[in-house]
Amino acid sequence: MIDGYRGLSYWMSSVEDDLTPRPSLASDLDVDVAIVGAGYTGLWTAYYLAEADQALRIVVLEAEIAGYGASGRNGGWCSALFPQSVAALARKHGRAKAVALYRAMQATVDEVGRVAASEGIDCHFDKGGTVVLARNEAQLARARDEVEEARVFGFGADDLALLDADEARERCAATHVLGATYTPHCAAIHPARLVRGLARAAERRGVQIFERTRATSIQPWTIQTDHGTVRADVVVRATEGYTASLPGHRRTLAPVYSLMIATEPLDASFWASAGLADRETFSDHRHLIIYGQRTADNRLAFGGRGAPYHFGSAVRPEFDDEPKVHLELSRVVRELFPAIGIPRITNAWGGPLGVARDWAASVGLDREVGLAWAGGYVGDGVATSNLAGRTLADLIRGVNSDLVKHPWVNHRWPQWIPEPLRWVGVNAGLRLMESADAAEARSGRASRRAALFGRLLGQ
């Protein structure tokens, strides 16, 4: 199984850790705080709680090993991206709260870097920002609209800049570039190094982590596992894309798969033509998301959506491998960077991320039943989970900080529609985005269907 864990992603294959699982829960346990999930959300929560109060008895329960889920498989963007736009947040909560949350996300990028440095976690943190290319006229129009919206809410060029074609190609010399947006508020990281190092940092502060211990149900003040019962004053659900596997949560978050590939290390001549000299993370303004980074060892790690949603919110290891999608990712890489030729793909992987029906991330605590939660990051969870962990630490300790006043706190997600409508709806949305991108590439005109779909999501 150790080799199996290394096979989860390029990131997990390249950590220096011994991936032998930590001991499982040996008996029933009573603690102050029990956390289900040893990914970023669970471990950041444990870390900040233990840092604030050394007397707290904190345990983290993990079905596999720390970093098994999205935290060890993601694109490595520690970004200030948030699932809901600032305009959408402002419509619901007012301008001031929307802007405050976005500023908090920007600060969170630096907070992750600070902790990594202070804890000696070499996660290849490199704050080169993000360049999002516009490669047809419809994408360029969206880039302009995004910058205009940022200005309306007081975000200047040092937060989000509109680049012309030459400026964009200086950062990322892909094909057919007409312009781009650029934000400095993102760092490229090695995500598995971060999550594995974070687990060790939490343990140094007295947190107990039990691996190969699967939660079979979460109830008020109680977690049932396959190795015993844990009772706690507060139980934290930090299960993101795996939430649907818990009884009573089949319709809480939909597990939608994102897939990635990584090339062999590429030579200096390729990088001289492709750019990304500052390890900028990169994407473009298409609807069906793609994302990439230049790794610290000069690979191209590249991913995107497009894998189907599986009936009944099913999550299975065999879904991590979608050959058609992986081949399409390789094709898109060659389209963006023809100088790459036919790259040797050393790793191809995938995994589920958590999507709420209203496309809104949430963090909260229901103290009356001792249940807390965080998630619904829609793939933007590396930094958002840190903000969630700090927020949960304050909520659990009863600290009336600025963090607990942000508009995502105690947001309640609407339930996803039942099957088979859920399967039809989610997959139809994926295909709509795909067809909209194809139509825009042909015509250069923005897709009305895609715009309508975005409005339905509240964006």
| Burial of 222 (C-beta count, 10 Å sphere; 0-12/13-18/19+) | middle
Strand ranges across the sheet with 300-304: 161-164, 179-183, 130-134, 281-284, 290-294, 300-304, 254-263, 345-355
d(C-alpha 155, C-alpha 103), whole Å:
9
The CATH number given to whatever domain includes residue 17 is: 3.50.50.60
Say what percent of the chain tops pLDDT 70.
Answer: 97
Note whether 430 and 306 are within 8 A (CB): yes
d(C-alpha 228, C-alpha 209), whole Å:
15
* Exposure letters 322-343 (e unless 16+ CB within 10 A, then b): beebbebbbebbeebbeebeeb
Q: What is the pLDDT of residue 299?
A: 98
* Average pLDDT of every residue of the chain: 95
Name 180's bridge partners: 133, 163
Tens digits of residue pLDDT in 94-107: 999 999 999 999 99
Residue 74 token pair: 């993601």
Residues 22 and 10 placed together within one structural domain of the fold: yes
- Does residue 447 fall inside a structural domain? yes
d(C-alpha 177, C-alpha 171), whole Å:
11
Q: How far is CA 268 from the centre of its chain?
A: 30
Which residues does 452 contact at the CB level (< 8 Å), separation at least 6?
Answer: none
Three-class SS state of 209: strand
Q: What is the pLDDT of residue 305?
A: 87
The CATH number given to whatever domain includes residue 335 is: 3.30.9.10
Q: What is the pLDDT of residue 455?
A: 60
Residues 202 and 214 placed together within one structural domain of the fold: yes
Confidence label for 459 from pLDDT (cuts 50, 70 and 90) = low
As a whole number, mean pLDDT of residues 325-342 equals 95
- Does residue 152 fall inside a structural domain? yes
Q: Are strands 179-183 and 300-304 parallel, antiparallel or unpaired?
A: unpaired
- Name the DSSP letter for residue 147: H
Confidence label for 436 from pLDDT (cuts 50, 70 and 90) = confident
Instruction: State which amino acid sits at residue 310.
Output: H
Intra-chain end-to-end CA distance of the chain, in Å: 42
Tens digits of residue pLDDT in 352-401: 999 999 999 999 999 999 999 999 999 999 999 999 999 999 999 999 99
Say what percent of the chain tops pLDDT 90.
Answer: 91
pTM of the model: 0.96
Residues 27 and 60 placed together within one structural domain of the fold: yes
Tens digits of residue pLDDT in 5-24: 999 999 999 999 999 999 99
Q: What is the pLDDT of residue 3?
A: 62
Residues 337 and 388 placed together within one structural domain of the fold: no
Which residues does 300 contact at the CB level (< 8 Å), separation at least 6?
Answer: 262, 263, 266, 292, 293, 294, 333, 337, 340, 343
Range of the domain at 444: 130-183+255-355+432-456
pLDDT at 449 over 80: no
Q: Within 13 A of 311's CA, how many CA atoms are on the CB side?
A: 2
- Does residue 338 fall inside a structural domain? yes
As a whole number, mean pLDDT of residues 427-447 equals 86
Q: What is the pLDDT of residue 437?
A: 85
Three-class SS state of 441: helix
Residues 278 and 200 placed together within one structural domain of the fold: no
Tens digits of residue pLDDT in 142-189: 999 999 999 999 999 999 999 999 999 999 999 999 999 999 999 999
- Say how many residues make up the chain: 459
Confidence label for 453 from pLDDT (cuts 50, 70 and 90) = low
Tens digits of residue pLDDT in 179-190: 999 999 999 999
